[in-house]
Structure 1
């Protein structure tokens, strides 16, 4: 995993975004991706006082895990994970080298596996796939506080 430095500084976030990125040479480094997300949110809580509910912390790790798993499973080569927080909303983007659009299968409770995108879409505020000159980027947004009114005040819970 190769990480880019996250935004420096202390104090409330206000209107400025804060972000971190990592490239995973081996897209199978799902634990590393989850750890990056957890550490990023923990750091943002400690340094900037942003409210991140326990539920949001778990949901972010689940979404990161599903998206990076799919990148490793369906695209050859590395993937890139970008996390950016702005106004209490986290944007998660995963780039991979495959230009094939992901497909979400119809809900089937008897199917074993292949529920990842269903889960991601169910817990996300938005879901977007953008083709790149090489590959594609999947971007989702998640609210970081259980009560949306808490997400924009920049205060601890």
Structure 2
């Protein structure tokens, strides 16, 4: 059953939240706040473990993806966070049909490391064309490995 919380955000039957944003720079911290609030609810309201590392990494992924959207696809965008299989899928949709370029690692390059960072801290990363625009999705594991290893994959 779909519900709306006190902020007017849609909470679907699965543990997820979606919010539409405009084209203002203030939307970047608002999207991070959405992620922080959502993960706090996932932990407190639904009992899922959310490590402090996961809290920070999800906000970082949201920030990097939204920053790229603001930079390369001006206009409205949609952020969706959904818990699946012990991870949170962070999806950002925008109306641009231009797919992002994932550059090779280059420590001497100044800037343009956003997707490189997202891929390093995520267990999966995908870009897909939509009927209008594109959707970028990265999954971040919610709980650290019992052995203490941070989740994600090596580039």
Superposition TM-score tier, normalisation by shorter sequence: 0.7 to 0.9
Partner of 1:98: 96
CA drift at 1:48: 1.2
- Structure 1 Cα separation of the partners of residues 11 and 31 of structure 2: 15
- Structure 2 Cα separation of the partners of residues 27 and 42 of structure 1: 25
- Structure 2 Cα separation of the partners of residues 118 and 148 of structure 1: 26
Unaligned runs of 5+ in 1: 8-15, 150-157
Q: 1:143 to 1:76 in 2, by over 3 A?
A: same
Task: Tell me which of 84, 95, 107 is aligned to 1:86.
Answer: 84
Task: Tell me which of 1, 9, 13 is aligned to 1:4.
Answer: 9
Preserved CA contact (<8 Å) 2:66 2:92: yes
CA RMSD, Structure 1 to Structure 2 (Å)? 1.8
Aligned residues: 140
Unaligned runs of 5+ in 2: 1-6, 148-155
CA drift at 1:3: 5.4
- Structure 1 Cα separation of the partners of residues 146 and 79 of structure 2: 25
Q: 1:19 to 1:137 in 2, by over 3 A?
A: same
Q: 1:136 to 1:148 in 2, by over 3 A?
A: farther
- Tell me the secondary structure at the aligned position of residue 48 of structure 1: coil
TM-score, with normalisation over the residues of structure 1?
A: 0.83
TM-score, with normalisation over the residues of structure 2?
A: 0.84
- 1:20-60 Cα distance to aligned partner (Å, 9 max, x none): 00111125311000000000000111111110000010000
Task: Tell me which of 20, 23, 36 is aligned to 1:23.
Answer: 20
